[in-house]
């Protein structure tokens, strides 16, 4: 599971239309819905279906619930990032330097608070299942047929299923992950000694996030990108800003590269590239793709075949080729966000409950990338609007001009509004800077409402000083471009 935001806790009072598409009585089954996996996607499906009156069961192969999001991805990596950012900001503060305070925290010290956060998340999420009377079966679930699964030799039947088994780092056979200096995104969180240098192979979301994190610790970073640009799905201006600031922080970017072989040594790791370059660092992080967890599901028994990366194909309602079997989250691939998985799970359950359109806005899910600074966006990019021949204009707000950013010292970044030059409708919002993943939701709310117009930001009074004021500044900047 890709590292992104924490899914929202479901309200107990969610209004549900419990009319099902297929009204055939399901008393012949043990459950109306059986969910495989307790990550964000599985939790969203289970809670939504249960609140709609369905009998729900859940399987989890690991000892604790929460999936990769809670134990290996989103929560531990973001907790570590937060600790690193705060600790290094303090250590770099001139006042502490004047007092002669110098420290080099170990990786163990930086990780110390993560376990307690994970424990709180597990306890909270366990309470959701307990108070909604959803039984959790411990063990690996495997399909016997389209209405039956087996766990530890016991068979359970269900009218519908949701596969929410998540993903894991892609591990090519040519890379020796047993070497103590070679890591993937799951094992890197357990690195014992603080390295002085690291090579990260793969410059996707996970690769860029870890590049920022390690560089903030003062570690030398090589970020090797197999493509010509970073995070090509983002707006071009955001891509350029990210590349500039990574380089400004000291990260060495290498684009359009491909691995030839990886040589693990006693004192480091040598990455041999097909271009002839050789990069030697203390450790190497392989961050080049993920694989869906589908091998042990017995999919051959229900006529489903995952792709080469173990991912399942689904339709707009998250149904697989077997209509009563749905799949959500990382196991279906893009966008591979914890937030998206949760919403997809709810959408799948609502479809079973008879609400084909659950108004969940699954096509307007914002990106949340926890680099330093953060990146978040929702809606169209300039590239997409230009290709579609939509007349648009741009409004900018530079964080360095905002009083709140000056007060907090978070002056790197910008907010960018894309709007239709005739109707003034907001078409896209792109943010790069501190708290971007929070700031974006103001734009998201306006875009989805009846007052979607640039004028909303011009006419609305924002607290001063705040980062939210960036919307008014950007709106006025864009409005002044019209003629």
| Integer Cα distance of 349 and 391 in angstroms | 38
> Among 343, 348, 307, which Cα is nearest to 325's?
348
- Yes or no: say if 5 and 339 are a contact pair by the CB < 8 Å rule: yes
Does 443 count as an annotated binding residue? no
208 annotated among ligand-binding-site residues: yes
**Is position 153 annotated in a ligand binding site?**
no
Instruction: Give the contacts of 177 (CB within 8 A, at least 6 positions apart).
Output: 171, 183, 184, 187, 286
CA–CA dist 317, 315 (Å, integer): 5
Place of tokens 């249960």: 50
> What secondary structure letter does DSSP report for 137?
E
- Please indicate if the annotation marks 167 as binding a ligand: yes
Beta strand pairing call for 413-420 and 426-433: antiparallel
Query: Phi first, then psi: what are they for 381, rounded to 5°?
Result: -95, 165
Whether 203 has a binding-site annotation, put simply, is yes
**Token pair belonging to 345:** 């799970």
Cα-only R_g, the chain = 24
Bridge partner residues of 418 (DSSP):
394, 428
Please tell me whether 330 is known to bind a ligand.
Answer: yes
**445 annotated ligand binder:** no
Q: Does 375 carry a binding-site annotation?
A: no
Q: Is 45 annotated as a binding residue?
A: no
Q: Is 202 among the annotated ligand-binding positions?
A: yes
CB atoms within 10 A of CB 372: 21
Whether residue 250 is annotated as binding a ligand: the answer is no
As given in the structure block, the two tokens for residue 335 are: 């966008």
358 is in an annotated binding site: no
Known binding-site residue numbers for NAD(+): 202-209, 289
Binding residues for FAD: 78, 165-167, 330
Numbered residues of the known binding site? 78, 165-167, 202-209, 289, 330
């Amino acid at each position: 599971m890709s590292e992104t935001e924490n899914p929202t806790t479901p309200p107990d009072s969610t209004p549900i239309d419990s009319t099902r598409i297929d009204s055939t009585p399901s008393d012949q089954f043990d459950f109306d819905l059986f969910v495989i996996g307790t990550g964000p996607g599985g939790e969203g499906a289970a809670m939504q279906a249960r609140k709609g009156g369905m009998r729900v069961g859940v399987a989890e192969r690991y000892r604790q619930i929460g999936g990769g999001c809670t134990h290996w991805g989103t929560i531990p990596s973001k907790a570590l990032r937060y600790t690193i950012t705060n600790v290094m900001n303090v250590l770099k503060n001139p006042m502490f330097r004047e007092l002669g305070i110098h420290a080099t925290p170990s990786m163990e010290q930086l990780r110390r608070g993560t376990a307690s956060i994970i424990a709180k998340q597990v306890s909270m999420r366990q309470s959701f299942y307990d108070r909604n009377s959803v039984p959790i079966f411990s063990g690996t679930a495997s399909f016997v047929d389209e209405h039956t699964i087996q766990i530890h030799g016991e068979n359970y039947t269900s009218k519908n299923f949701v596969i929410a088994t998540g993903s894991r780092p892609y591990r090519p056979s040519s890379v020796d992950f047993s070497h103590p200096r070679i890591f993937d995104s799951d094992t890197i969180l357990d690195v014992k000694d603080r390295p002085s240098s690291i090579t990260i192979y793969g410059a996707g979301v996970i690769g860029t996030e870890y590049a920022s994190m390690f560089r903030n610790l003062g570690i030398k970073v090589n970020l090797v990108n197999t493509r010509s640009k970073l995070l090509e799905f983002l707006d071009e201006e955001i891509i350029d800003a990210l590349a500039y600031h990574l380089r400004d922080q000291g990260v060495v970017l290498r684009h359009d590269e491909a691995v030839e072989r990886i040589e693990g040594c006693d004192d480091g790791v040598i990455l041999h590239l097909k271009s002839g370059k050789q990069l030697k660092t203390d450790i190497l992080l392989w961050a080049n793709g993920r694989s869906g967890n589908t091998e042990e599901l017995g999919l051959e028994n229900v006529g489903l075949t995952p792709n080469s990366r173990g991912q399942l194909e689904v339709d707009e309602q998250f149904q697989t080729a077997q209509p009563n079997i749905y799949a959500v989250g990382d196991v279906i691939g893009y966008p591979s966000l914890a937030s998206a998985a949760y919403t997809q799970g709810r959408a799948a359950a609502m479809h079973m409950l008879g609400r084909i359109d659950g108004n969940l806005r699954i096509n307007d899910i914002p990106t949340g990338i926890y680099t330093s600074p953060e990146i978040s966006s929702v809606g169209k990019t300039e590239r997409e609007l230009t290709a579609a021949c939509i007349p648009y204009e741009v409004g900018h707000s530079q964080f360095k001009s905002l009083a709140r950013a000056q007060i907090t010292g978070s002056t790197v970044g910008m907010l960018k509004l894309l709007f239709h030059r005739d109707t003034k409708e907001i078409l896209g919002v792109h943010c790069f800077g501190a708290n971007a993943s929070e700031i974006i939701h103001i734009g998201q709310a306006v875009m989805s409402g009846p007052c979607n117009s640039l004028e909303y930001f011009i006419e609305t009074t924002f607290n001063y000083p705040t980062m939210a004021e960036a919307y008014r500044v950007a709106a006025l900047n864009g409005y002044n471009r019209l003629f």
